[in-house]
C-alpha cells in the first residue's frame, strides 16, 4: 500500500510477460509527484534500475513514450517487445 502525500499522484503499474516474471510481481501502486512522467513511475516502481530501452510502455491502454506525463489514477503498463508472426 502506498501513502499519499499532498501533491502526489497515485498510479497503478503493471508488468507483463517476462518483465513481470523477472521483477517478481505483476502489479504495484506507487505515489509520484505531480508532473511526473512514465519514466519517473518506473523509477518509483523499480528503484535503482534504469528503464530498459527495449521496454514498451502504455498509459491507460495506449502506447506512450517514457517522457509522457502521468495523471492521478493512471494505469501504466510496461512490457517487453512483442515478437512473433509467421515465418
- Residue 3's pLDDT band (cuts 50, 70, 90): very low
Read off the pTM: 0.86
Could you tell me which of 61, 75, 79, 62 has the C-alpha nearest to residue 16?
79
Neighbour tally for 50: CB within 10 Å: 9
- What are the pLDDT digits (tens) for 46-77? 999 999 999 999 999 999 999 999 999 999 99
Burial 55-68 (b: 16+ CB within 10 A, else e): eebbbeeeebeeeb
Question: What's the pLDDT at 7?
Answer: 74
Give 46's DSSP letter: S
**CATH no. of 8-79:** 3.10.20.30
CA distance from start to end of the chain: 45
Helix (H, G, I), strand (E, B) or coil at 17: helix
Amino acid at each position: 500500500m502506498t501513502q499519499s502525500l499532498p501533491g502526489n499522484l497515485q498510479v497503478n503499474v503493471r508488468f507483463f510477460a517476462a518483465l513481470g516474471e523477472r521483477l517478481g510481481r505483476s502489479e504495484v501502486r506507487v505515489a509520484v509527484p505531480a508532473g511526473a512522467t512514465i519514466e519517473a513511475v518506473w523509477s518509483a516502481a523499480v528503484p535503482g534500475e534504469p528503464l530498459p530501452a527495449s521496454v514498451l510502455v502504455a498509459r491507460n491502454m495506449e502506447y506512450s513514450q517514457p517522457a509522457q506525463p502521468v495523471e492521478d489514477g493512471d494505469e501504466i503498463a510496461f512490457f517487453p517487445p512483442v515478437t512473433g508472426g509467421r515465418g
